[in-house]
Amino acid sequence: MPVYLVTIVKSNAFSLKILEAYTRDVGRGIARIDYEALDSIKASAGDIIEIAGGKRRIIAKCLPLYPSDEGKGVIRIDGLARSNSGVAIGDTVTITKVKAVPADKVILAPLESVPQLDEHYLADVLDNTPLVKGDKVTVPYFGGKLTFEVIHVTPASVPVLPNKKTIFHIAESDRVRDGIAQVTYEDIGGLKEEIQKVREMIELPLRHPEIFEKLGIEAPKGVLLYGPPGTGKTLLAKVVANETNAHFLSISGPEIMSKFYGESEARLREIFKEAKEKAPSIIFIDEIDSIAPKREEVMGEVERRVVSQMLSLMDGLEARGKVIVIAATNRQNALDPALRRPGRFDREIEIKVPDRRGRLEILQIHAHNMPLYEDVDLSRMAAITHGFVGADLEYLCKEAAMKCLRRMLPELNLEDEKVSLENLDRLIITKADFEQAINDVMPSALREVFLESSDVNWRDIGGLDDVKQELQEAVEWPLKYPDLYSTLGYRAPKGIILYGPSGTGKTLLAKAVATESEANFISVKGPELMSKWVGESERGIRELFRRARQASPCVIFFDEIDSIAAARGSEGSDGGGGGVVSQILTELDGISELREVVVIAATNRPDMIDKALLRPGRFDKIVFVPNPDIKTRSNILHIHVKEKNLGAEINLEKIATMTEGFSGADVSAVVNTAVSILVQEHLANYPAPAEATKHISEAELTMRHFEEAVKKIKKQRELKPSEKAVMSHYG
């Protein structure tokens, strides 16, 4: 314990309970206390305080708590401060005001292999961070963290405040951190409830076993974490081990399994023996389904023996002592049922896909050390990243940083030994970098299904105002304003069928709904799901809905649903069995509730769809999408002629009159055909590519081009199907 040669302000020590730090304070040497505590120790915001109550005393800069924490008698410090002090969340500490002096020199010893660092960089990063000899400090570096120990400060034996004039020196050190990576509860976002459950199950028994002895019950021995990949199961196990100062042992399948008889079981026994000798210990088994599958479903004898050995070690005749097993999997139903009982895995905790608030917390954690421009709105990013897990959001931040780097790369001279500080200061991540990055990052839960990046808005669809209104009320508003609708007791429709003639914009409407409601959009085609193997089509439907739930809010769009959901028993149904139809019925209105997943289907043959699908509770709304009237056709024309070189005599209303009976797709084809006629004429005049490009301003659409286009499309519509098959699009 260091001896401080400082003047302590005459005030009574004040006792406070420790909580985790706010994300913005991590790594800054800050302690948050309320105004009552500040007044009690006669301190002001920005003063230096000493925190005592653990293995060693530490210092920190005090700032006031957020108003929501006022009057609770708490102090918020980060994981590094807790580690330096030897305290944990929930412990009580005392605080007093002290004085710190400017640091002349600080010597740091790396606790891991570190690259060559500029001393000026250390001075910038650790500027105004309170330090004493023996403290561990972290330095952000390329999206990660480097850990050092303060082995000397000048002036000696006093709390110091480094500044930009402080001389930093990195000493050679052969010390390495033991155990695991120094991750803390502040490094995890969006898992507040899950962390609380894990702390009750693991941290409490390891730190205070006497509580369970008093209650006369045995402390929990195992926790199973399950959920989609990338949600933070492994990270949570590491954090618990780090915060409890427990010995951490990690097991993975390939390391355990051996072809030699008895080797796999022997390795398991060795791991449990080491854990018992170095107790308190945590054994972490990642992807436990690979080494402990259901015994009746595996062919190999090795897997059966390993499962039996696991059962014996976790709940055998020998007491385990202070050894807790944490296992992680995303296939909890593949585990042997004997493992999933009290006494082995006492509690199963689901690690879910984070909600909006959770995503914001995760983004704040990963963007904490990133140079962000003032136009970056992380709240907005959190709102539009539906279905993203923690790993996806981390990758999003990295990709945004890479977009920034690629943008600045031409201006950087990479031949220089070091990039100048001036150029480094120009590396600032903007809103545009994040927007470009989000287009390249797909939620991991949806990587095996076709996820369309829908960029169609309501303004891209001409007319159909009544249909748009219906879809807004049914899909967009319940997803955007869930609190309002839940308060009013409104039950949002699960499914909507859009029916009408071909080419009226049904698919376009579904895409616009997904875009406007900021939901993920999965487009499903019948042939992609249908399989000749029994049960495979139904499995495809189940998997589709499962992934949509994980990435909710999500819009599933079935195009031409009559091809996969024909009336059971009819000629067009799937072999007369109706397995696919039954599976869709179950998913829409089964025991598992469909939350924040909307199914939109399109068809021009509603009479062929199974009648069981068309009742309320399944497809609640049936919306007719008609052929466009003259006003709608005019709107469609205005949308499609944008950024085209139009002649002065162009009258779009007249063209709309000429296209009576046309669908929206036909009207779009008229514009495209008119452009095609213009291109033919332009190339006839200027066949050479250079000449054609030189005189491109002369290429102007006239009424004649549109009139010819209308005639061609009419002729095409009137042709017999056999003639259409051999006729080119443009006649």
CATH 3.90.580.10, applies to 101-182: no
Position 76 scores a pLDDT of 92
Write the CA distances from 666 to 55, 392, 717, integer angstroms.
78, 41, 9
pLDDT at 528 over 90: no
Looking at residues 234-254, what average pLDDT do you find? 80
Q: What is the DSSP string of 68-104?
A: GGTTS-EEE--HHHHHHHT--TT-EEEEEEE--EE-S
Please state, in angstroms and rounded to a whole number, the distance separating the CA atoms of residues 683 and 693: 10
Q: Which residue has the higher pLDDT, 58 or 564?
A: 58
pLDDT at 689 over 50: yes
Both tokens assigned to 587? 């998913």
Please state, in angstroms and rounded to a whole number, the distance separating the CA atoms of residues 61 and 101: 13
pLDDT at 282 over 60: yes
Task: Pick the closest to residue 161 from 15, 6, 270 (CA basis).
Answer: 6
Backbone angles phi, psi at 512, to 5 degrees: -65, -40
**Helix boundaries (H) for 551-629:** 579-589
The DSSP output letter for 454 is -
Please state, in angstroms and rounded to a whole number, the distance separating the CA atoms of residues 304 and 292: 8
Q: Do domains 101-182 and 185-350 have the same CATH topology?
A: no
Whether the Cβ atoms of residue 157 and residue 2 lie closer than 8 Å to each other? yes
Looking at residues 444-464, what average pLDDT do you find? 65
The DSSP output letter for 45 is T
Please state, in angstroms and rounded to a whole number, the distance separating the CA atoms of residues 35 and 616: 57
Q: Which residue has the higher pLDDT, 535 or 700?
A: 700
Superfamily, domain 458-569+577-624: P-loop containing nucleotide triphosphate hydrolases (3.40.50.300)
Q: Which architecture, in CATH terms, is 185-350?
A: 3-Layer(aba) Sandwich (3.40)
How many residues comprise the chain?
A: 731
Position 719 scores a pLDDT of 62
Position 414 scores a pLDDT of 63
Q: Which architecture, in CATH terms, is 356-442?
A: Orthogonal Bundle (1.10)
Whether the Cβ atoms of residue 107 and residue 156 lie closer than 8 Å to each other? no
What's the chain's average pLDDT? 78
Whether the Cβ atoms of residue 207 and residue 166 lie closer than 8 Å to each other? no
Decide the pairing of beta strands 495-499 and 281-286: unpaired
What is the SS3 assignment for 393?
A: helix
Whether the Cβ atoms of residue 231 and residue 389 lie closer than 8 Å to each other? yes
Q: Which of 246-255, 256-265, 448-457 has the lowest mean pLDDT?
A: 448-457
Q: Which architecture, in CATH terms, is 630-719?
A: Orthogonal Bundle (1.10)
Position 316 scores a pLDDT of 60
Res. 89 pLDDT band, cuts 50 70 90? confident
Please state, in angstroms and rounded to a whole number, the distance separating the CA atoms of residues 210 and 328: 28
pLDDT at 596 over 60: yes
What is the SS3 assignment for 11?
A: coil
Please state, in angstroms and rounded to a whole number, the distance separating the CA atoms of residues 609 and 603: 9
Task: Pick the closest to residue 554 from 405, 296, 353 (CA basis).
Answer: 353
pLDDT at 384 over 70: yes
What is the SS3 assignment for 106?
A: strand
Please state, in angstroms and rounded to a whole number, the distance separating the CA atoms of residues 101 and 594: 61
Position 576 scores a pLDDT of 41
User: Which range scores top for mean pLDDT: 22-26, 172-176, 311-315, 569-573?
Assistant: 22-26
pLDDT at 408 over 50: yes
Position 321 scores a pLDDT of 65
Please state, in angstroms and rounded to a whole number, the distance separating the CA atoms of residues 93 and 91: 7
The CA-based angle 722-724-726, given to 5 degrees, is: 85
Please state, in angstroms and rounded to a whole number, the distance separating the CA atoms of residues 523 and 442: 15
Query: Domain ranges in the chain?
Result: 1-98, 101-182, 185-350, 356-442, 458-569+577-624, 630-719
Q: What is the DSSP string of 458-496?
A: GGGS-S-HHHHHHHIIIIIHHHH-HHHHHHHT----SEE
For the question of whether the overall pTM of this predicted structure is more than 0.85, the answer is no
Position 12 scores a pLDDT of 56
Whether the Cβ atoms of residue 601 and residue 498 lie closer than 8 Å to each other? yes
Task: Pick the closest to residue 223 from 210, 211, 209, 240 (CA basis).
Answer: 240
Please state, in angstroms and rounded to a whole number, the distance separating the CA atoms of residues 365 and 187: 6
Position 415 scores a pLDDT of 64
**What confidence tens digit (pLDDT) does each residue in 338-367 have?**
888 887 888 888 888 888 888 888 888 888
**What confidence tens digit (pLDDT) does each residue in 603-657 have?**
877 777 777 777 777 787 888 888 888 888 888 888 877 777 777 777 788 888 8
Return the H-helix or E-strand segment holding 556. strand 554-559
Position 320 scores a pLDDT of 62
Q: Which of 452-461, 509-518, 531-540 has the lowest mean pLDDT?
A: 452-461
Question: In the chain, helix, strand, coil percent, each to 5?
Answer: 45, 20, 40
CATH 2.40.40.20, applies to 1-98: yes
Q: Which of 275-289, 489-503, 670-684 has the lowest mean pLDDT?
A: 489-503
Using a pLDDT cut of 70, give the percent of the chain over it: 85
Q: Which residue has the higher pLDDT, 448 or 731?
A: 448
Q: Which residue has the higher pLDDT, 498 or 443?
A: 498
